Amino acid sequence: MKTIINPNRKIWASILKRPTQNMENIELTVNQIFDDVKRHGDAAIKKYTELFDGASQQCNMVTEEEMELASNLVLEELKRAIKLAKSNIEKFHQAQKTDKLEVETTPGVVCWQEKRPIEKIGLYIPGGTAPLFSTVLMLAIPATIAGCKDIVLCTPPNKEGKVANEILYTAKLCGIDKIYKVGGIQAIAGMTFGTKTMPRIFKIFGPGNQFVTVAKQLATKYGVAIDMPAGPSELLVVADQSAQAAYVASDLLSQAEHGVDSQVVLVSSSEAFIKRVQNEISKQLLDLPRKAIAEKAISNSKFIYMQQETDALDLINAYAPEHLIIATKNNDYFVDNILNAGSVFIGNYTPESAGDYASGTNHTLPTNGFSNVYSGVNLDSFTKSITFQNISKQGLKNIGPAIELMAEAEGLQAHKNAVSIRLKDIS
C-alpha cells in the first residue's frame, strides 16, 4: 500500500484513474447482446442467462408462490431491520415532494409547473456475489412515492434459477410484483426493446458492473432514459489526526469488498495517520469473508498525503467521488466547498454503510467521476416536470406585440400570424 506524497497537479489525472477494463471490448460485447435480444427476444435472453448465470429456466418471471416462500424464509430480525430502513428512506424521499409552482409573469399571463410520474420504470438489482436487496428499497420506494404506474424489477438468478430470498421479500414489502429472473446486459436489453414476456420500459434505474453501465448507456440510443452512469463502487475519505484510524480503515474496506473493480482513496494531511490506517486495513482484512475481493480492490487503492487543505479539496473535486467521508478538524471547510460528490458523510460516527442501508438517503449514486454532472437517485428522478400556461385576452395584448416583433425578426411569419390573428379579434 503505497503512499503518494503531495502529487503535482499535472499527474492528478493519472493517479486518480479508475481501474476500468478496456471499454472497446465491453462495448463490442454489449452491442452484440443487444442486437441478439432485439432480434430474438426471450430466446436470446434465455441463452445468455444460461451462459452467464448458469441457469436454465423456462419462465423468467417470479411467481407469487416463489415470493411467498422467500418471504417466509427471511429471518424476522432481518425483516425488522429492513422495515426500519424502509421507514427512514420513505421519510426522506416523501419530504422531497414539491408543490405546484405558479407565477403570473405579466398581468393576464399565468405560468405554472407540475410534476408527473414516469409511467414505465425498470429497476435493475445486482445479484452475483452480493445480492443487493437494499437497492430494492432505494429504487422501489421513491418510484412508488412518485406514483409510477408500471414498475418492473430485473435481477440475476443463481445457478438453480432462484433469486435471493431477501430481494424477493423486500420487493414484496415495497409492492413490486413484476419481477424477472434476468440479469446483466440481457436484462437491460430486454427492458429496452421489450419481449413477449418482458415489457418495454421508459427509464432504467440501478447500479451494476461495467457491462451493465455500458448497456444502460447504449439503451439511451434506443429512446430509453437512465438514471445515471453507475458502475463499480468507490469511496474517498479525507481525514486527519482527529479521525479514528480503525474507523477509516473499516470504511475503506466496506467499499473494497463490493468487487475487485471497486476503488478506495484516502487523502490525509498526516503521513503517520495514513500509516496507521494501512496497518488497520491489514489487520481487519484477516477477518473478512470477502477477503480475496477486498484485497484485489485495495490493490487499486490510493493513499495520498496532501499538506494543504486547499489542495486536498481541489483533488477531491477533481476525483468527483461517488461517496465522500469527511473526518477532519475542519469538516465545515470541506462541507461548504465540495462541488463534486454523490453523497457526503460527515464526522467520525457517520459511516458510509449508513447511507447504503438505513439512514434514509439514496445509495444509487454516480460513479467514475460523473458526480461532477449527475445527482444521485432522488424523488425527482422518477418524475418529469410539465409546464402550463393560460393567457387571457388582456395578457395576450400585453405580450403579443413583443412576440410579433421577435417572430418577424427570426423570419417565422406563421409564428407572428398565430398572435396577430388573435390580437385582431381582441381589438
> What is the rounded distance in angstroms from the CA atom of residue 376 to the CA atom of residue 341?
9
Place of cell 481501474: 19
119 annotated active-site: no
The residue annotated as part of the active site, out of 323, 363, 404, 408, is 323
Q: Under DSSP, is residue 178 helix (H, G, I), strand (E, B) or coil?
A: strand
For residue 380, what is the DSSP state? G
> What is the rounded distance in angstroms from the CA atom of residue 19 to the CA atom of residue 298?
11
Q: Is 323 known to sit in a ligand binding site?
A: yes
What cell was used for 361?
Answer: 438517503
Angle at alpha carbon of residue 378, lines to 372 and 380, rounded to 5°: 100
Do residues 323 and 255 lie in contact, with contact meaning Cβ atoms separated by under 8 Å?
yes
Q: Is 255 known to sit in a ligand binding site?
A: yes
Q: Is 356 known to sit in a ligand binding site?
A: yes
What cell was used for 175?
Answer: 409492492
93 annotated active-site: no
Percent of the chain as helix, strand, coil, to the nearest 5: 50, 15, 35
Q: Are strands 323-327 and 234-239 parallel, antiparallel or unpaired?
A: parallel
Q: Is 258 known to sit in a ligand binding site?
A: yes
Q: Is 222 known to sit in a ligand binding site?
A: no
Identify the CA nearest to 174 among candidates 208, 123, 212: 123
Place of cell 456475489: 129
What cell was used for 371?
Answer: 458526480
Angle at alpha carbon of residue 277, lines to 275 and 281, rounded to 5°: 115
Q: Is 124 known to sit in a ligand binding site?
A: yes
Q: Is 336 known to sit in a ligand binding site?
A: no
The residue annotated as part of the active site, out of 234, 257, 322, 352, is 322
Identify the CA nearest to 195 among candidates 31, 61, 37, 52: 37
Q: Are strands 383-391 and 109-117 parallel, antiparallel or unpaired?
A: antiparallel
DSSP-derived secondary structure for 303-362: EEE-SSHHHHHHHHHHH--SEEEEESTTHHHHHHH--S-SEEEESTT--HHHHHHTSSS-
| Known binding positions for NAD(+) | 124, 186, 209
| Known binding positions for substrate | 233, 255, 258, 323, 356, 410, 415
| Known binding positions | 124, 186, 209, 233, 255, 258, 323, 356, 410, 415
Residues with active-site annotation? 322-323
